Structure 1
Amino acid sequence: MSRSVRLVPAVAFLSLGLVLTACEDSGSPDGARGAPGVGDRYFPKAGNGGYDVSHYGLTLAYDPGTHRLTGTAAITARATRDLASFDLDLQGMEVTKVTVEGAAAGADRDGQELTVRPPGGLDKGETFETRVSYSGTPRTLTDPDRSKEGWLRTEDGALALGEPTGSMAWFPGNHHPSDKATYDIAVTVPEDLTAVSNGELSGARTVNGRTTFTWHTAEPMASYAATVAIGRYTVTRSSIRDGLPVYVAVDPSQVSASRRVLARLPEVMEWAEDNFGPYPFSSTGAIVDRPEDSAYALETQTRPVYPGAPDTETLVHEIAHQWFGDSVTPRTWQDMWLNESFATYAEWLWTEDEGGDTAEETFTELYDHGEDTYEDLWSFPPAEPTTAAQISGDPVYQRGAMVIHRIRRTVGDDTFYDLVQGWTAAHRHGNASTEDFTTYVEQQVPDEDFTGIWDDWLYGEGKPERP
């Protein structure tokens, strides 16, 4: 996510202890209920226990005139324990039918929780398919830092953004970054509109004045990185190194302003691979909407969303997120600094390589005068935001990048880039925690002592002493 346009007010939020420690609740004498939430410290209701999703098949139809969305979600999952019932996250919308393995299932709603009761229950280890049919007017949600997410109406269609919990506004699922899956998304819209999503376009078929666009994502994706953009777009299809497909969709009002920066996409991709290792996905691109459609850029997988023409630094930031956040995904929302610190540090590296300030000069300026631009820079450590509103706060981005620079300064450039590329390879298409990262660094460079970096810069309160 690009931090420059997100607002982070001080919103109080209850910390609920360690993440991912939610217990499974008793469901009935015949079995158990999967926990309605994984116990994330900042979003305790997000995600669900008792199963692991491997694939989402979403069939959607949207009418911008009535703002009505109709959908069917076919969710393939494996039970991780015996289940009499399990939950899905879905905010709003009317559920009209639920089946498990083709048989009608009972279902109840309680806030964002859709509790499903499969006939006969499910055995631990069993792979099953749940189908949920639903319809209604999808909601725009406001997250704790007052950013808008979920289903955003635009002048000519809609834009779906999911970080951190907005995806539950447009499809039911296990909406926590710890459960990644592959996706097939088919979206039917009026024939004068285009529907863009993640991955590769596998088909577009027009019948009776409506076109269905079908998108396939073969690599695992966290639901917050899923997107659908519906509207009138100028679409450019091309390829870069080794035939990697590039799909760029730009609102016509932004084509001229975006042309120069988007022309650098192949160059940025090559630079990022040189620094971070092989690109983890099978396509790349961009979605550029109008500035009024969203207040922030977002690293939607393979195809980041930009609110208006991006500058080069924002392009670099969101492309870096394809490695840090989309491929190596945080295990919990407390680990979000792993996404944003590396993406922010990528901007520092790009500027350095382009002949601007070195990363050391950026670090020093930020240490000496950073609070002039980022008022809350030293208000909390990047690995321990106090509230849910702060997971996208300045310390997560800027002070997090300072942590990365301190590691680079400690180990030297050759070892640093080996560390970075080793990290992205070790956790490619997976999840990782802050502890995973610090342990990895210590194991790879056993002769260095990183205690001061972790204690003072990653977890320490206030402004550390000058290094």
Structure 2
Amino acid sequence: MLRTPRTSRTRTPRPTAHRRTRRAVLASAASACLIAASAPSPAPLGIGDRLFPYLGNPGYDVTAYDLDFTYPGSNSKPLPTVTTIGAWTTDWLEQVNLDYSHGTVRSVEVNGAFAEFRSAGEDLVVTPEEPLPPGVPMRITVRHDSNPMPGKGKESGWVRTKDGLAMANQPDAGHRIFPGNDHPSDKALFTIRVTAPNGYKAVANGLPVEVDRRAEATTWTYRTKHPMATELAQVSIGRSSVLHRDGPNGLPVRDVVPTKDREQLEPWLKKTPGQIAWMQKKIGRYPFETYGLLIAEARTGFELETQTLSLFERELFTRPAYPKWYIESVMVHELSHQWFGNSVAPRTWSDLWLNEGHATWYEALYAEEKADRPMEDRMRAAYRASDTWREAGGPPAAPKGAEPGEKLSIFRPNVYDGSALVLYALREKIGRPAFEQLERAWVSTHRDGVADTADFERLASAIAGRDLSGFFEAWLYGAKTPPMPGHPDWRSEAPAKKAEKRARKSAAAPK
């Protein structure tokens, strides 16, 4: 994610749908709810993430999601949805907690049998007919509404565009669209099916596998070839044009844009194949089956690296105030995330610096090489501000939690330029050849997996041929910014000094 500058698992076979009459579904669901009403109150669970302790759930490992949305032709009405989750149990489960908190649930089945279900916090707690032992496959089917409207002080993961919907699930809004294990450490394969009235187009992560056109509606089906975190799911529904072109090595590149803007946006879109080629020269082959830009006519305040289909605000490309080099570097920022954050996902949200620090690094490197914007100048400016950023947001690998009611506040400068500064210091410490070898090794070693800060430290030490634990401890966890290797003259401006300077400027300003 980049805030806009203004205010590996084995796939389980897709389960066969169990057809029931509407009367039977409603009767069974009502019975489950009545039984659940007399049972002890369930409790929300989580995997103990430091920043989001109630995200994710213990006891199972998701291997596949099948999402089936029906769009009613309005971006303010709920979408009838069927979510099917394929998983393996890792513990005895008398109850199964799913992250889900923003929509009506009609029925739940576990392995084909109707199950009790109740809400607990932001969890949907499911009680199967019989406890599930560890090491067995589990299939959960939830029939529910996916609500694009905000509620109870929380935004849905849906973004309402001028003519439809898109998704923005980072960091914790995926479970407000569909139930699941909403933590980046549990990646899975996705099949996404969208039915919409004729005149709309639907595009999702991965590649299209089927289009079913009928008299009044069309159903599109997409499937990913690589596992994906729930926060990276993307569905675009709108009166859009889908533009196709070839990328490096025959990679299919497809962009989704408002039809009326396709000519205006084309000069930007045609840059993507060259940007992919540039990234491949730096760190190796693009890790997924396709890529493209989803340009939405909406105000989000950010751009987002949803897997294989990055979300951008239309205004980024149409607002004259943004210089050309800046727009291109933002495009590279989100593209870089396909390697850093998507293919290699963070094990915890405290490892966010590995995502955003690397994306910021390649954004800055692209600007240096293509637009003569020196990396050293940007890093020196970041060094001056670094102590202020650490005081406000915590050190890069131990960021402070979100402000109340503002989950996006974890995306502070300390995880962007503050974390890119760590990478700059590392390159100065171990030298450019070792650093470039590390970058390539990182994305190849952990491709389609999850990794954390300790993994990065171990790999860096192995490639450098020396123990770098002291370096990483100071740069990633220290309250103060360490001296910059190779630049003893660089100084970080103390937060108090900056505050005094602002106060003097204010006092000297004309009244």
Asked if these proteins are the same fold (TM beyond 0.5), I'd say: yes
Measured in 1, the distance between the counterparts of 2:182 and 2:130 equals 25
Higher helix share: 2
Matched with 1:435 is 454
| 1:414 aligned onto 2:423 | no
Residue 254 of structure 1 deviates from its aligned partner by 3.7
Determine the C-alpha separation between the residues in 1 that align with 2:44 and 2:152. 25
1:358–1:42 Cα change, 3 Å:
same
Report matched runs for 1:239-388 at 5 Å: 239-290=246-297, 292-308=298-314, 309-310=316-317, 311-368=327-384, 370=385, 376=389, 379=392, 380-388=394-402
The structural deviation recorded for 1:434 is 1.0
Q: Specify whether residues 448 and 178 from structure 1 end up closer, same or farther in structure 2 by C-alpha distance, changes over 3 A only.
A: closer
Q: CA RMSD in A?
A: 2.2
Q: Within 1, Cα distance between the matches of 2:152 and 2:239? A: 26
**Contact 1:141 1:166 (C-alpha < 8 Å) held by counterparts:** no
**In 2: Cα distance, 1:294 partner to 1:196 partner:** 19
- Whether 2:411 is the aligned partner of 1:401: answer no
AA in 2 matched with 1:314:
V
Any residues of structure 2 matched to 1:160-179 within 5 Å, and which? 160-179=167-186
Distance 1:142 1:304, change over 3 A: farther
Q: Which of residues 58, 62, 72 is equivalent to 2:67? A: 58
Unaligned runs of 5+ in 1: 8-32
- Greater mean deviation of Cα atoms: 379-388 or 310-319: 379-388
2:182 aligned counterpart, secondary structure: coil
Q: Which residue of 2 aligns with 1:13?
A: none
1:52–1:136 CA distance, 2 compared to 1 (3 A): closer
Q: Distance in 2 between matches of 1:294 and 1:161?
A: 9
Contact residue 78 and residue 128 of structure 1 kept, 8 A = yes
Which of these residues, 448, 455, 459, is aligned with residue 477 of structure 2? Answer: 459
Matched with 1:190 is 197
Shift of 1:450: 5.5
Q: Over residues 317-363 of structure 1, what are the superposed CA-to-partner deviations in whole Å (9 max), with x where a residue is unaligned?
A: 00000000000000011111100000000011112221513322321
Cα distance in 2 for partners of 1:67, 1:131 equals 22
Contact persistence 1:141–1:150 (CA under 8 A): no
Residue identity opposite 2:353 in structure 1? W
Q: Contact 1:198/1:301 (CA < 8 Å) preserved in 2? A: yes
Q: Which moved more, 1:69-78 or 1:455-464?
A: 455-464
Q: Call closer, same or farther: CA 1:132–1:274 in 2, change over 3 Å.
A: same
Give the corresponding residue for 1:47: 56
Instruction: Measure the CA separation in 2 of the matches of 1:6 and 1:439.
Output: 38
Structure 2: distance between partners of 1:111 and 1:92: 11
The answer to whether the 8 A contact 1:204-1:213 is kept is: yes
Please tell me whether the aligned partners of residues 43 and 388 of structure 1 are also in contact (alpha carbons under 8 angstroms).
Answer: no
Please tell me whether the aligned partners of residues 99 and 132 of structure 1 are also in contact (alpha carbons under 8 angstroms): yes
CA spacing shift, 1:141–1:237, aligned 2, 3 Å: farther
Q: Amino acid of the residue matched to residue 470 of structure 2?
A: T
Residue 22 of structure 1 corresponds to: none
Match of 1:107 among 76, 101, 117: 117
Q: Equivalents in 1 of 2:353, 2:6: separation in Å? A: 15
What secondary structure is seen at the aligned counterpart in 1 of 2:142?
Answer: strand
2:411 to 379, 392, 395: 392
1:190 deviation in Å? 1.1
Which ranges of structure 2 fall in alignment gaps of 5 or more residues? 8-41, 318-326, 404-408, 486-511
Structure 2 partner of 1:2: 2
| Residues 397 and 251 (structure 1), Cα distance of their counterparts in 2 relative to 1, 3 Å cut | same
SS in 2 for 1:294: coil
The amino acid that maps onto 1:432 is A
**1:53 alignment partner AA:** V
Asked whether the 8 Å contact 2:157–2:168 carries over to 1, the reply is: yes
1:466 positional shift: 4.8
* Shift, 1:367, TM fit: 2.2
**TM-score if structure 1 supplies the norm length?**
0.88
Would the aligned equivalents of 2:437 and 2:463 in 1 still touch at CA under 8 Å?
no
The SS at the match of 1:221 is coil
Shift of 1:79: 0.2
Distance in 2 between the 1:413 and 1:130 partners? 49
Q: Is residue 36 of structure 1 aligned with residue 33 of structure 2?
A: no
The residue aligned with 1:211 is 218
Q: What is the DSSP-based 3-state SS (H/G/I as helix, E as strand, rest coil) of the residue aligned with 2:302?
A: coil
Question: Aligned pair in 2 of structure 1 residues 201, 265: CA closer, same or farther (>3 Å)?
Answer: same
Return the structure number with greater relative CO, CA threshold 8 A, min gap 6: 1
Look at both structures and tell me which one has the larger radius of gyration over its CA atoms.
Answer: 2
Q: Tell me whether 127-136 or 321-330 shows the greater mean CA deviation.
A: 127-136
In 1, the alpha carbon distance for the partners of 2:180 and 2:294 equals 24
DSSP 3-state at the match of 1:63: coil
Contact 1:289 1:306 in 2 (8 A): yes
Q: Tell me if structure 2 keeps the 8 A contact 1:3–1:397.
A: no
Letter in 2 for 1:326: N
5 Å-filtered alignment, 1:121-200, equals: 121-135=131-145, 137-140=147-150, 150-200=157-207
CA distance in 1: counterparts of 2:479 and 2:66, whole angstroms: 45
Secondary structure of 2:224's counterpart equals strand
Q: List per-residue Cα deviations over 1:61-112 (Å, max 9, x = no partner).
A: 0113361211111100000011111111111211111111111111111232
Measure the CA separation in 1 of the matches of 2:411 and 2:68.
Answer: 32
Counterpart position of 1:73: 83
Q: Which structure has the highest strand share of the two?
A: 1
